[in-house]
Structure 1
Amino acid sequence: MPQFHLDNFVPQLVWLAIFFAILYFGIVRLTLPKLGRTLDAREDRISGDLSTAERAKGEADALSATYAAGIDEAHKTARTAIAEAKARATASVEKTVAAANSVLAEKAAVADASLSAARSRAMIEIESVATDAAADIVERLTGRRPDAALVAGAAKTAFAG
């Protein structure tokens, strides 16, 4: 193998150094700055994106807090409106119930008076019928009709006792 001969060894080292220098200066010196700029640009873009995301998160948090405060205020307003509506409805129902109770009380008083009058008339009629029936029974049993005032007094005493 020719590369292992000592005569060829020194020229091979020289050519190795020449090709190494060409590759180093050709690739490393020309490519690494572009690669560095690309990495720097990427890092700048990432840090910019992160700062933009942090700003957006701060804005979103502020909007969320404002939204939550608005919702809480709306709930508070709604609760107040509901309480007021309940109070108005309760007052209206109580007023209606009071009016209905007074009307019912009046009707009950009229009905009680009517019932008392009907009861009194019925008692008078029952006493009259009882008086006539008692007088008829006594007349059938004895053959004589008893005194009407006496029979009426006995019927009143029987119903009163």
Structure 2
Amino acid sequence: MPQINQLAENWYLASQLFWLALIFGAVFVVVGLGMYPKIEATVDARDRKVADDLAAAKAAHASADDLEGQYRQQSDAARVAAQRAVQDAKDKAARDAEKRLAKVDVELSDKMTAAEADIAAARKSAMAEIESVAAEASADLVAKLSGVTVAAADAKAAVKAVLHG
């Protein structure tokens, strides 16, 4: 092959290969032995940091779940206590209202009895008043119409018989 034969003819090729190997070796030493371990240590540190952060996040998430569970339990307990307090307040208000209604019923019953007694007395007084007025009016009418004088006791008896009989 002519390409390979041509390589041997060019004397400067060996010099280029030497410098290539020397530069490659220098780059290998600088990068491979100097920079790569530092980069690898940085990557490892970052991986450890990420793993630690993930573990801390999982622990925080678990802690938050526990806190949420406790909050829900406390909230449920508070809700039950509030409902119980509201029911107790309603029951107490109903009992108080019943007591007040019973007291008002007694007062109204007493007032009603007193009012009925007053009405009965007023009716009796009014009937007596009506009887006397009617007796006087009937005596006057009989006297004017017939000219006969009627005794007050007879007029009262006649009116009483008509009104009650």
Scaled to the shorter chain, the TM-score interval is 0.7 to 0.9
> Are 1:127 and 2:145 counterparts?
no
d(CA) in 2 for partners of 1:152 and 1:6? 173
Amino acid at match of 2:59: R
Q: Tell me, which stretches of 5 or more residues in structure 1 are unaligned? A: none
**Percent identity (aligned):** 36
Name 1:22's counterpart in structure 2: 26
Q: Deviations over 1:11-31 (max 9, x none)?
A: 122211211111112222211
Q: CA RMSD in A?
A: 1.8
Name 1:98's counterpart in structure 2: 102
d(CA) in 2 for partners of 1:65 and 1:10? 77
Name 2:120's counterpart in structure 1: 116
Deviates more, 1:140-149 or 1:16-25: 140-149
d(CA) in 2 for partners of 1:25 and 1:157? 149
Displacement of 1:111: 1.0
Q: Tell me, which stretches of 5 or more residues in structure 2 are unaligned? A: 1-8
Name 2:47's counterpart in structure 1: 43
TM-score (norm 2): 0.86
d(CA) in 2 for partners of 1:27 and 1:42? 20
Amino acid at match of 2:134: A
SS in 1 for 2:148: coil
Displacement of 1:160: 4.2
Deviates more, 1:61-70 or 1:6-15: 6-15
Amino acid at match of 1:86: K
d(CA) in 2 for partners of 1:157 and 1:11? 166
Name 2:5's counterpart in structure 1: none
Name 1:57's counterpart in structure 2: 61
TM-score (norm 1): 0.88
> Are 1:83 and 2:87 counterparts?
yes
Displacement of 1:138: 1.7
Q: Deviations over 1:64-94 (max 9, x none)?
A: 1011101111111121122122212211221
Displacement of 1:157: 4.4
SS in 2 for 1:34: helix
d(CA) in 2 for partners of 1:155 and 1:144? 17
Deviates more, 1:7-16 or 1:124-133: 7-16
